[in-house]
């Protein structure tokens, strides 16, 4: 059987880690594309030259030509600027929208049958743009944010309770911005509610404080890393998170992963991309797992969707030549 083909658009910090993870997991042959000459070729040569030590048999190619992504099963996009300390993801809209236009046109032309996973920020707006420009069915165009945001929330809970993060389940919904919505009500340790454990440990009032602090840290977790790095944003964690999504599709795992998906009425949202639990398998987004939000969660979710709408409304003035399709 032919190996799968994964193309990575953007060969920077995240792109390099993505390439290495694809190789280590033997997900398929990998093409790393960037506009910077020689850099993607150098990174792929570097990874390829350790194949014997790491024991993988896949082909790795760096390129500056979109023609090399032809026949891709999955394309993962990280092209674009990362934020600097003090910036929000939304501050990247103007510059990254123009990059995403070029990238989407390249994917549309050379990899018309691929599944596309976007990582570039501001995430929800970039996924919207890519879907509109490629015209691919929405189940084939999605964004990575929720897997990472949820994992961050799980990590903070695990550290607080002093238990393995493998036994924590917690999810973050909504847009991938400062208004994202960590869902406290369903956060659990192998089915045991996290809130109940915190109340037993601290009593009601302090438990609420501790949970609020974890929720706020989750919402700002990307910025915490940006501040510490001083130059660039998180790259190991978004790469691993996108690989989980790509693997679910390529291996038809039917995983339920928080994914930036186009909503058509689910959670009360019509025609906007935001993060919700999705079933990922060989068909891409095979289903959206809708569930009842309580009034407070719905209000927070609506507020997050409103922030995404605000960015989408700015797109036609940034890309006036696309005003028609961005309506
Ligand atoms: N086409 C292809 N690649 C491009 C283009 C373009 N038009 N413009 C820039 N790039 C490349 C850059 O050359 C760079 O190698 O995108 C790469 C981005 O890499 P980094 O600057 O290292 O950024 P990274 O940390 O990988 O983050 C990429 O993901 O999480 C988001 O906010 C983050 O938007 C940022 C993106």
* CATH number for the domain whose boundaries are 145-327: 3.90.110.10
Give the separation between CA 288 and CA 176, rounded to whole angstroms: 18
What is the pTM for the complete model shown?
0.98
**Catalytic annotation on 176?**
yes
Mean pLDDT of 65-76: 98
Task: Provide mean pLDDT across the span 83-98.
Answer: 92
Report whether 115 contacts 75 (CB < 8 A).
Answer: yes
Pocket test of ligand 1: the residue of 37, 78, 89, 130 to mutate, having most ligand atoms within 8 Å of its CB, is 78
Helix/strand/coil for 293: coil
The binding-site residues of ligand 1, defined as CB within 6 angstroms of any ligand atom, are 9-15, 34-36, 78-83, 92, 96, 99, 102-103, 119-121, 232-233, 235, 238
Distance CA(49)–CA(38), nearest Å, equals 16
DSSP state of 174: B
Which two structure tokens, joined as six digits, stand for 76? Answer: 């993962």
> What residue's CA is closest to ligand 1, atom 18?
12
DSSP 89: G
Q: What is the largest CA-CA distance in the chain?
A: 61
Does the structure show a pLDDT above 90 at 34? yes
Mapped onto helix, strand or coil, the DSSP state of residue 2 is coil
Q: Dump pLDDT digits (tens) for 240-261.
A: 999 999 999 999 999 999 999 9
Mean pLDDT, rounded, of the chain: 97
Q: Architecture of domain 5-144 in CATH?
A: 3-Layer(aba) Sandwich (3.40)
Spans of all domains in the chain:
5-144, 145-327
Tell whether the model's pLDDT for residue 209 goes beyond 90.
Answer: yes
């Amino acid at each position: 059987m032919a190996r799968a083909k994964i193309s990575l658009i953007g060969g920077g910090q995240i792109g390099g880690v993505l390439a290495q993870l694809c190789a280590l997991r033997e997900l398929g042959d990998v093409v790393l594309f960037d506009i910077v000459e020689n850099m993607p070729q150098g990174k792929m040569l570097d990874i390829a030259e350790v194949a014997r030590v790491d024991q993988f048999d896949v082909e790795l190619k760096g390129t500056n030509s979109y023609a090399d992504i032809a026949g891709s099963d999955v394309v993962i996009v990280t092209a674009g600027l990362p934020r600097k300390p003090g910036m929000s993801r939304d501050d990247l809209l103007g510059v990254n929208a123009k990059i995403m236009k070029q990238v989407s046109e390249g994917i549309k032309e050379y990899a018309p049958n691929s599944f596309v996973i976007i990582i570039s920020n501001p995430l929800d707006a970039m996924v919207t743009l890519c879907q509109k420009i490629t015209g691919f069915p929405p189940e084939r165009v999605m964004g990575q944010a929720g897997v990472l945001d949820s994992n961050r929330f799980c990590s903070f809970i695990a550290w607080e309770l002093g238990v393995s993060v493998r036994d924590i389940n917690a999810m973050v919904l909504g847009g991938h911005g400062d208004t994202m919505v960590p869902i406290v009500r369903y956060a659990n340790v192998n089915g045991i509610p996290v809130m109940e454990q915190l109340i037993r440990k601290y009593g009601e009032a302090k438990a609420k404080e501790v949970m609020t602090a974890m929720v706020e840290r989750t919402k700002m977790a990307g910025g915490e890393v940006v501040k510490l790095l001083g130059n660039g944003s998180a790259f190991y964690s978004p790469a691993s998170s996108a690989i989980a999504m790509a693997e679910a599709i390529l291996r038809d795992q039917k995983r339920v992963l928080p994914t930036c998906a186009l909503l058509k009425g689910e959670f009360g949202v019509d025609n906007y991309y935001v993060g919700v639990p999705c079933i990922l398998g060989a068909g891409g987004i095979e289903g959206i797992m809708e569930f009842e939000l309580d009034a407070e969660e719905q209000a927070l979710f609506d507020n997050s969707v409103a922030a995404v709408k605000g960015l989408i409304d700015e797109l036609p003035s940034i890309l006036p030549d696309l005003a028609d399709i961005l309506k």
